[in-house]
Amino acid sequence: MISPADDERDAASLRTRASDWEDWDESAVRTRPNPKANRPRSKRRPAHDDAQEALVTAVDRGRYQLHVLGSGAAVTAARARELRRTQIVTGDRVSAVGDLSGAEGSLARIVSVLPRTTVLRRSADDTDTFERIVVANADRLLIVVAAAEPEPSLGFIDRCIVAALDAGIEPVVVVTKTDLASSQLVRDHLSALEVRVIDSSLAHPAAEAVREVTLDHVAVLVGHSGVGKSTLLNAVAPEAGRATGHVNAVTGRGRHTSSSALAIAVHAAANDRTGWLIDTPGVRSFGLGHVQADHIFTAFPDLVELVPLVERTPLAELDADALAQRVAPELHARVASLVRMLRNAAQRAQY
């Protein structure tokens, strides 16, 4: 018969044995979290109760310039390790922790990127599906072309309109250097579209019109190098002091003066309305490798009567010149743009 005393003795000896074996027991070993676990990463992230919301105003070699929304401080930040695979771009809204004072030499840390309302993308060309994000959260696209030096590219305007509408962004066209030539060619090209066209010249820069487009919005300037994007930004916000370049007299090309995107706060003189204007580096092309073919049509409401015909004609047989005869002369270049974009989209689909 086993007495309670025996029972106790057995239990005690079991405890002794358990402690003897503890060194060998792996159940208490602290393991690193399995990086391949299915649990969403966000669950493992520490909570940052002291995080503040900020806007990314510039990105330069792994460092981010932030505008802290509460204090208005301009702060330099790095990103947290867990965000090293996340692309953070100008216009992004982020949460940041650490030294958010903006004091000389201070460095804050971005701990999360807030969901984006829009993403403006472009690819190298229409058949390239590798896309880069130009800016996040913009709701207006200022497509900048020069009336001359360099010559306006109507095709560039058309593809920027497609990219904007595809991203849910309102396109506006600015024709600069109207002191050198008229904006009429561009105006005729867009005559059947509801897209605003703004003139700008050295003597009369479109500062007020661009300010109006920007207030209460996030507007982004895109265009070829040398068309005058930074000149416009400086006209709207002289304190920005953005460097501007000149255009090569022989090639008619700009010098790619601006090398990264920069967001500048724009304020209304009379009231407390604000907005953000983003200057971007000049681009050679605006590839649409990321845009679905059926989205291209939606950017051509002025050619809507051609859609049924285009849809039932095999692409190889589509004759842009013959199609153009069905619409007003000022829309012929639009027809050429539409056919080119559809062909490129079809070619991409074959890869």
Ligand X SMILES: Nc1nc2c(ncn2[C@@H]2O[C@H](COP(=O)(O)OP(=O)(O)OP(=O)(O)O)[C@@H](O)[C@H]2O)c(=O)[nH]1
Binding residues for ligand X (CB under 6 A): 176-177, 179-180, 200-202, 223, 225-231, 244-247, 254-258, 281-282
225 binds, among Mg ion, ligand X, none (CB under 5 to 8 A by kind): ligand X
Q: Find the shortest distance in angstroms from Cβ 157 to ligand X.
A: 15
Q: Find the shortest distance in angstroms from Cβ 268 to ligand X.
A: 23
CA 281 – CA 301 distance, rounded (Å): 30
CA 64 – CA 120 distance, rounded (Å): 19
Q: Which is nearer to ligand X, 113 or 261 (CB)?
A: 261
Q: Is 283 in the site for Mg ion (CB under 5 A)?
A: no
Which residue in 28, 30, 35, 91 sits closest to 59, CA to CA?
A: 91
User: Residue from 201, 257, 285, 313 that binds Mg ion (CB under 5 A)?
Assistant: 257
Strands 108-113 and 52-60: unpaired
Q: Find the shortest distance in angstroms from Cβ 198 to Mg ion.
A: 18
Phi, psi of 253 (to 5 degrees): -105, 155
Q: Find the shortest distance in angstroms from Cβ 214 to ligand X.
A: 16
Q: SS3 helix, strand, coil % of the chain, rounded to 5?
A: 30, 25, 45
Q: Which is nearer to Mg ion, 117 or 257 (CB)?
A: 257
Which residue number is nearest to ligand X in terms of Cβ? 282
With beta carbons less than 8 A apart as the criterion, state whether 306 and 337 touch.
no
CA 310 – CA 300 distance, rounded (Å): 12
177 binds, among ligand X, Mg ion, none (CB under 5 to 8 A by kind): ligand X
Q: Which of residues 49-78 bind Mg ion (CB under 5 A)?
A: none
256 binds, among ligand X, Mg ion, none (CB under 5 to 8 A by kind): ligand X
Q: Find the shortest distance in angstroms from Cβ 253 to ligand X.
A: 9
In 115-158, where do the E strands start and end?
119-123, 131-136, 140-146
Q: Is 90 in the site for Mg ion (CB under 5 A)?
A: no
With beta carbons less than 8 A apart as the criterion, state whether 146 and 152 touch.
yes
Q: Which of residues 193-232 bind Mg ion (CB under 5 A)?
A: 229-230
Q: Which pair of tokens denotes residue 36?
A: 């391949």
Q: 95 forms bridges with which residues in the sheet?
A: 53, 112
Q: Find the shortest distance in angstroms from Cβ 302 to Mg ion.
A: 31
The residues that touch Mg ion, with contacts defined as CB under 5 A, are: 229-230, 257-258
